Amino acid sequence: MVLEKLLSAQFEFEIEKAFKKILARNKMDESLLEQDKDRLEILITKFDPYTEKELSKDFLIAACDGSGIENLCQYQDNHIQLVNSSLIVLDTNTVNKQPMKIIDLKSIPSLNNGNLLKIFTFNHDNIDFKNSFIEFLQSLFPNTDLLEIFWKYYNDLDVWFEKLPIITSKKSLTQILGNDIESYLLLRKPSENSVIQNDLRSTIELILIRKALLSDLKLKYLIIDGSMTILEPLKIMEKRDSPRKLPFRDYLLRDICHHARKKGTTLAAISKTHTVPGSFLISKLATDLGFKDHWYCRIPGVKEKEGELNITKSRIYIPPDLAVTYLARFYYLMPTLRIDFDYYWWKEYIQDSDPKIQQQNEIKIFKDLDFMAHEARWYGYPCPPAFAHEDCVITWDQQLIVSDKVVGVGKEMGLNERALISARRMIFS
């Protein structure tokens, strides 16, 4: 019955209506892109991939990805969520003719063999949820004061707005904004299950990245899946006597950027699917210029002398605050990727008053990223995040097995078995 509806003329009409809207938007994008064409023809840069089988100097790369189960168990108004993340470290290892060799992490206790799996339990009572969430965060940082993580965000905020930073440590943070952890955090509503799950997944991914940065591993690159978008866009703080309420992930991302700059590690966020407007048209322009692959294009932001592109002016998240965004294609049969870098790292290591030197700096990075994209299974997509994804993904069959185990444990502890089983599963399976 449902399939008949999905194959009906009415369904086709609805899809055509949706595509007409998209086509109209595409025409607007084409018009805006035409205004940006001269700039883009300069920004789109071709680079030659490594031709040697052996790099002049091998290096280490780490990547992390996460997964989870949003509704592992619901018992009346109590929820249990599962989040899981995996860290993979690879050595380019061309000197031994074993490129992209996975490093065994068992000898580094702090990394827990590259795995982090956590359970978050909460009740729909707002006070219980708040306390449970803060306790959960503190359990993830048993030896770290969360305020030590928070101050870097406010430091970067001042620099972004070209102010002299007045928050330069945890001490100055607490003196100016106080030490009440709750006042810094944007807490979700207990009913926002999917938002809570996304927040937790982002958090544990970044925690593993942070652990890798603080380890003795001499990492040249750290790759996260996604973008460097600050979930709550920046705005000038009119009141200096109170903190902003932000998702913990925003604070943690800035903390990691600080550690990466301090260690000299390049932090890159790579998006397979993204919403950079006109990305298909920019890719077509690159092809028209004779570059079907091995090219990149920086998307100018608000800090540019010439301003943003016309096509991105209405998109406050592109490029994100405190980040620099590029589009890149390493193989013509692969999608155009979005790659974000920390703005302050980029300013220190990439930006130069001489455009030729800046281009040379960029090309070094993109040649390295392209070298990571030569694994046959994902040719054209850097393999470290692909390996991390494979290591952490939870399949539907695995979710069912885990759910059965959860029910079994709860039953043994005296909870009502039928109340532990998902109502949807009980009714429809």
- Same domain, residue pair 366 and 281: yes
- Same domain, residue pair 333 and 414: no
Is residue 193 included in any domain, yes or no? yes
Domain range for 409: 396-428
Tokens of 297: 């294009």
Is residue 242 included in any domain, yes or no? yes
C-alpha span between 346 and 322 (Å, rounded): 10
Written as one string, the DSSP assignment of 145-171 is -HHHHHHHHHHHHHHHTT---S--SHH
Is residue 33 included in any domain, yes or no? no
- Considering the entire predicted model, what is its pTM? 0.93
| Per-residue confidence (pLDDT) for residue 261, from 0 to 100 | 96
Alpha carbon dihedral 121, 122, 128, 132, in 10-degree steps, equals: 40
The one-letter amino acid code at 2 reads V
Confidence of residue 238 (pLDDT cuts 50, 70, 90): very low
Question: Average pLDDT for residues 31-38, to the nearest whole number?
Answer: 92
Confidence of residue 230 (pLDDT cuts 50, 70, 90): confident
C-alpha span between 299 and 63 (Å, rounded): 24
C-alpha span between 226 and 228 (Å, rounded): 7
C-alpha span between 394 and 402 (Å, rounded): 10
Is residue 28 included in any domain, yes or no? no
| Per-residue confidence (pLDDT) for residue 130, from 0 to 100 | 93
- Same domain, residue pair 381 and 416: no
- Same domain, residue pair 386 and 418: no
- Same domain, residue pair 309 and 405: no
For residue 237, pLDDT beyond 60: no
Count of domains observed in the chain? 2
- Same domain, residue pair 201 and 349: yes
For residue 119, pLDDT beyond 80: yes
Is residue 140 included in any domain, yes or no? no
- Same domain, residue pair 326 and 245: yes
Which run of H or E residues covers position 138?
helix 126-140
Residues facing 115 on adjacent strands: 86
| Per-residue confidence (pLDDT) for residue 240, from 0 to 100 | 58
| Per-residue confidence (pLDDT) for residue 298, from 0 to 100 | 97
Is residue 29 included in any domain, yes or no? no
Query: Could you report the per-residue pLDDT of 311-334, keeping only the tens digit for each?
Result: 998 888 889 889 999 999 999 999
Query: Could you report the per-residue pLDDT of 300-316, keeping only the tens digit for each?
Result: 988 888 889 999 988 88
| Per-residue confidence (pLDDT) for residue 235, from 0 to 100 | 58
- Same domain, residue pair 102 and 171: yes
Q: For residues 271 and 233, which has the higher predicted lDDT (pLDDT)?
A: 271
Is residue 277 included in any domain, yes or no? yes
The one-letter amino acid code at 376 reads A
Question: Average pLDDT for residues 368-394, to the nearest whole number?
Answer: 93
C-alpha span between 82 and 79 (Å, rounded): 10
Query: How many degrees, rounded to 5, is the angle at CA 47 between CA 46 and CA 49?
Result: 140
Question: Average pLDDT for residues 359-386, to the nearest whole number?
Answer: 95
Instruction: Report the chain's mean pLDDT, rounded to a whole number.
Output: 91
Q: For residues 90 and 425, which has the higher predicted lDDT (pLDDT)?
A: 90
- Same domain, residue pair 314 and 414: no
**CA-closest candidate to residue 198, choices 167, 206, 319:** 206
Query: Could you report the per-residue pLDDT of 121-154, keeping only the tens digit for each?
Result: 999 999 999 999 999 999 999 888 999 999 999 9
Is residue 96 included in any domain, yes or no? yes
C-alpha span between 126 and 93 (Å, rounded): 51
Question: Average pLDDT for residues 353-366, to the nearest whole number?
Answer: 97
- Same domain, residue pair 374 and 406: no
**Parallel/antiparallel/unpaired status of strands 60-75 and 78-91:** antiparallel
| Per-residue confidence (pLDDT) for residue 376, from 0 to 100 | 84
- Same domain, residue pair 299 and 400: no
Tokens of 427: 């009714």
- In 273-388, where do the E strands start and end? 295-299, 323-329, 337-342
- Same domain, residue pair 252 and 171: yes
| Per-residue confidence (pLDDT) for residue 226, from 0 to 100 | 87
